[in-house]
Structure 1
Amino acid sequence: MSVTLSATLAANEDIDRRRRAGERVLHLAFGEAGLPVHPALRDRLAAASERNGYGPVAGASELRTAAAGYWTRRGLITDPELVVCGPGSKSLLYGLLLAIGGDIVLPMPSWVSYAAQADLVGSRPILVPAPPGEGGAPDPDLVAAEVLRARAQGRTVSSLLVTLPDNPTGRLARPETIGRLVEIARELDLMIISDEIYRDIIHDPDVPYTSPADLAPERTIITTGLSKSLALGGWRIGVARLPAGAHTLRRSLLAVASEIWSAPAAPVQEAAAYAFGEPPELADRITRSRRLHGAVARAVHERFAEIGAVAPPPQGGFYLYPDLSHLRLGGSAEITKLLLEEHGIGVLPGHAFGDDPAAARVRVAVSLLYGDTPEERLTALNSADPLKLPWIADNLDYLSRGLKGLALVRHGAVRERHPAFVPTPCHS
């Protein structure tokens, strides 16, 4: 089996290397939330620093109870005994693929690690395009035919996955789409994995949101964590909500967990229990984060639209997925290389997300534009108009110049290196 470094992590390391060498690169390739840790969480972690025992494989009872309360407040009454914690939802997703077995249906495009993890566990992913203008869920009109075709070939197809809202597109599947997927999952006896790690940073909280667990609680697993909503990516903590009665699945998942990570880090679990309790100061932090992510994502979307790129407006998280095929400069790999090497803009190619390599679609993450220092990022978080902050305005101007330079190549202009490649101190 050939395993390569995750595309997101590889791009992050490459961009860091270039910046250390003096290049200015606008970092739009890495989905890190880009905000400081809230002081209340930092204090909780420090207070728990002497908790050094392994603890239960499923996670501390305090954390499982807090996570159950989190879902119950969203209309999903949850038994803490059916909550399993892990070192990030990414690890839990891997454990679930091992525990469930069989092949899995994924939306196309979808987060780089879904298909990679499926390959690692010996599962063959079935990539099904999302409905036009949506993201994060395979088109229900296509799923049944693909599953039946795979089963006719002797394959075991056991599950399908949705991401609400989505990475890479920043879009949210419509409730009607989720409803139709649930019907198909029942007809074909598929388990549904719903990755809802971006749920709390939907830009407009009034947009209708439907989890598959609202409609099919008996066959839906939800995963989430704190890396996006509270910018705790480096803390590595996630939780999974299993369906009622899924005791066999729970035993299998815990068996996997016991052999891979033993137990989540005890001090982080204590801070996470506090976070999932949603105290007012953390609820306010998430509200401010949601506003910042939305404002900057919309501004970046406007810059791409100015050069004719096609992309549905982002609805959640800190991503958008523009299509630059109209420039006729090659597929996703070629356009990504041009943006980085000629214009100092780092993005991820769409083919890393399972998309057609010939299409010039790229994944853009805006969350590292908020500043280079914790002070700048906190100022951005608390600003009534973050787009007017000098460092964010400078980043957006730099993006505009680079994109316009890329568009000029299409019109036969002489290609010149972006002036920002002069080694000078720069903002992110």
Structure 2
Amino acid sequence: MKPQTRKTYVSETVAGLKPSGIRRFFDLASGMEGVISLGVGEPDFVTSWGIREASILSLEQGYTSYTANAGLPELRQEIAAYLRRKFRVCYRPETEILVTVGASQAIDLALRAIVDPGDEVIVVEPSFVAYEPLVVLAGGTPVSVRTSGADGFQLNLAQLEQAITERTKAVVICSPNNPTGTVFSPAELEALARLAEAHDLLVIADEIYAELTYEGEYMSMAAVNGMRERTILISGFSKGFAMTGWRLGFAAAPEDILQAMLKIHQYAMMCAPTMAQYGALEALRNGEHDVEQMRNSYRRRRNYFVASLNEIGLPCHVPGGAFYAFPSIRHTGLTSEQFAEQLLLEEKVAVVPGNVFGQSGEGYIRCSYASSLEQLQEAVKRMKRFLERL
């Protein structure tokens, strides 16, 4: 009797995941010359020299061993001081802060630590492309709640409440938002907090872009009255400190949740890269001036780019944070993917179709203005030509 041959050894769960929609357009653009990329979700600044020097020094001094699983104790202390100073939230560095391999790993750990099979997790969209797949990989069911460009993609609390069932475990939000740049107001966060209390929910708050808030003082979800014990705060060094390639993030959460995340981290990752952690120490201790300079530069570019998009006929709300513009292309009659692909092929401008961020992103494109002003000006010229032909 012949042994039975499997059709595939790949997990059904993984086989059912869609590849990242962002990657497809990066791959298309990478094979073309003269492309202006407005698709990359990372700063165009090089990590400041002080941070790089601190990391180099750690290597020269031979600090190349594992750190504690949760991260360098002194780094966790600095993160706690940073959160207290900047966002008025207090965490014990010994038991409530975990250093991770990027904020993405922190989100993955958070979901795996809290989700049981059959649990539902509400994802407010448009949303970062990883949230829903990570919910699925954790064994949960993602439930999308849409926001609308008509009101600048603010939280729709009525729709969110309608989506809550007895199986709902948590809500995932991102503010400032990727891809819309929307910053949720204190009033919205307060209303979400009351919903979380009423239905006994957790909130996973991705605040990786908090440093890139342009107007007013940023409010963390964890700082809302009563929400410290219901929030898993996710952040890191990639965006505000221009450290994307360093792959360093962190999570702050109540001790029972944080320790569950640490347990998974111990088995899956051991610890974040040691030299990157020494760089992050310097970032928190002496990097505020560099962050402020980058934030001011992004603000100037935002003001130019968003005004220009509106002038050439791509309606766009003014994003309150991050470095993304999310203009509407609905009036062109093209889908988001058609628009992005034709713009790339005809004018060599790479943007990301909005539908990869959820169904409510259809009819929009994401444009990163983390590019030089000269590149943004040239991109606007090319986009204007493209629209005139349409």
TM-score by length of 2: 0.89
Please state if 1:75 is matched with 2:93: no
Question: Aligned partners of 1:272, 1:108: CA distance in 2, in Å?
Answer: 30
Pairs within 5 Å for 1:192-231: 192-204=203-215, 207-215=216-224, 216-231=227-242
Preserved CA contact (<8 Å) 2:369 2:376: no
Question: Aligned partners of 1:308, 1:140: CA distance in 2, in Å?
Answer: 31
Structure 2 counterpart of 1:92, one-letter code: A
Aligned to 1:310: 315
Preserved CA contact (<8 Å) 1:11 1:30: no
Question: Aligned partners of 2:25, 2:267: CA distance in 1, in Å?
Answer: 30
Aligned to 1:292: 297
Please state if 1:400 is matched with 2:380: yes
Question: Aligned partners of 1:125, 1:404: CA distance in 2, in Å?
Answer: 38
Structure 2 counterpart of 1:26, one-letter code: I
Question: What secondary structure does 1:64 align onto?
Answer: helix
Write the deviation string for residues 293-331 of structure 1: whole angstroms up to 9, x where unpaired. 111122221221122222211221110100011122x21
TM superposition shift of 1:356:
4.2
Preserved CA contact (<8 Å) 2:110 2:232: no
Q: List runs of 5+ in structure 2 lacking aligned partners.
A: 1-13
Aligned to 1:99: 113
Preserved CA contact (<8 Å) 1:103 1:126: yes
Please state if 1:274 is matched with 2:282: yes
Please state if 1:32 is matched with 2:42: yes
**Mean Cα displacement is larger for which, 309-318 or 126-135?**
126-135
Write the deviation string for residues 251-299 of structure 1: whole angstroms up to 9, x where unpaired. 321121112211111111122122223x2xx211111100111111222
Please state if 1:322 is matched with 2:330: no
Write the deviation string for residues 365-413 of structure 1: whole angstroms up to 9, x where unpaired. 111x22xxxxxxxxxxxxxxxxxxxxx33x2332222222222233xxx
Preserved CA contact (<8 Å) 2:101 2:273: yes
Aligned to 1:341: 345
Question: Aligned partners of 2:364, 2:72: CA distance in 1, in Å?
Answer: 42
Question: Aligned partners of 1:12, 1:407: CA distance in 2, in Å?
Answer: 22
Write the deviation string for residues 112-141 of structure 1: whole angstroms up to 9, x where unpaired. 111122222232211112364344x64211
Question: Aligned partners of 2:92, 2:259: CA distance in 1, in Å?
Answer: 15
Question: What secondary structure does 2:234 align onto?
Answer: strand
CA separation of 1:134 and 1:260: change in aligned 2, threshold 3 A: farther
Aligned to 2:100: 86
TM superposition shift of 1:168:
0.3
Please state if 1:256 is matched with 2:264: yes
Preserved CA contact (<8 Å) 1:106 1:160: yes
Question: Aligned partners of 2:357, 2:47: CA distance in 1, in Å?
Answer: 29
Please state if 1:119 is matched with 2:124: no
Equivalent residue in structure 2 for 1:235, among 242, 246, 258: 246
Structure 2 counterpart of 1:343, one-letter code: E
TM superposition shift of 1:9:
4.0
Equivalent residue in structure 1 for 2:151, among 127, 133, 138: 133
Aligned to 2:367: 364
Question: Aligned partners of 1:6, 1:273: CA distance in 2, in Å?
Answer: 32
Q: List runs of 5+ in structure 1 lacking aligned partners.
A: 371-391, 411-428
Preserved CA contact (<8 Å) 1:29 1:364: yes
Question: What secondary structure does 1:192 align onto?
Answer: strand
Preserved CA contact (<8 Å) 1:165 1:173: yes
Aligned to 2:63: 51
Write the deviation string for residues 36-82 of structure 1: whole angstroms up to 9, x where unpaired. 12111111001111222222211111111110000111311221020
Preserved CA contact (<8 Å) 2:128 2:178: yes
